[in-house]
Amino acid sequence: MVTVSDGVVAGTREDLSGSALAGALEAAGFEVVGRSVVPDGVASVAGELARVTASFAGLVVTTGGTGFSPRDHTPEATAEIIERPAPGLAEAMRLASPLGRLSRGVAGIRGRSVVLNTPGSPSGAVECLQAVLDVLPHALALLADEPTRHP
């Protein structure tokens, strides 16, 4: 999990959205194996996502940097490193709440990882994650080339 926030990096803000996401993931049966914090910006986010996904098979969730402010570049950074987009996941996350229409977050695949961008607010991040939690185990199984059953 990657928190994108100048304020958290500077120590002027607590990583509430990262903590909320970690709790939601663990409650859904996922193991959170790592958390990192990077400043806003294409280079910092793309570099961290490339590092995290280099030898990892699983789910990578970002929080922060998906909105309209001048420093919000998480979607651009994510687009730089993903190999295949997963627009259905991003669209479902945007439908989670009325404010989702203001999210520019993307979703995609890099190697054997699914990368999801969620907003920086704790409630928005969790709402977006919950909108796709039900399909993520199937998506990850497909990426791992494991046998799957289609409903």
Q: What is the pTM of this model?
A: 0.95
Question: Would you write out the chain's pLDDT as a tens digit for each of its 151 residues?
Answer: 999 999 999 999 999 999 999 999 999 999 999 999 999 999 999 999 999 999 999 999 999 999 999 999 999 999 999 999 999 999 999 999 999 999 999 999 999 999 999 999 999 999 999 999 999 999 999 999 888 876 6
pLDDT of residue 149: 79
Q: What are phi and psi of 47, to 5 degrees?
A: -60, -45
CB atoms within 10 A of CB 91: 13
Q: In the chain, what are the domains?
A: 2-143 (3.40.980.10)
Tokens for 121, please give them: 């607010």
